[in-house]
Amino acid sequence: MIVDITGIILIPGNGGKDCPGNGLHYDENGNRTEWCCDECNYAICCYEPSLLEEPCERCDDPRCPRSPQNEDVNQPLSAEASPFTTHTT
Say yes or no to pLDDT of 19 above 80. Answer: yes
Residues 6+ apart with CB under 8 A from 54: none
Tell which residue, 75, 47, 45, has the closest CA to residue 61: 45
**Dihedral sign of CA atoms 5, 40, 64, 17 in order:** positive
Span 1-28, mean pLDDT? Answer: 87
Domain positions in the chain = 2-76
| Interval 26-39: pLDDT, tens | 888 999 988 988 88
Q: Is 83:26 a contact under the CB 8 Å cutoff?
A: no
Q: What is the pTM of this model?
A: 0.63
The per-residue pLDDT for 54 is 65
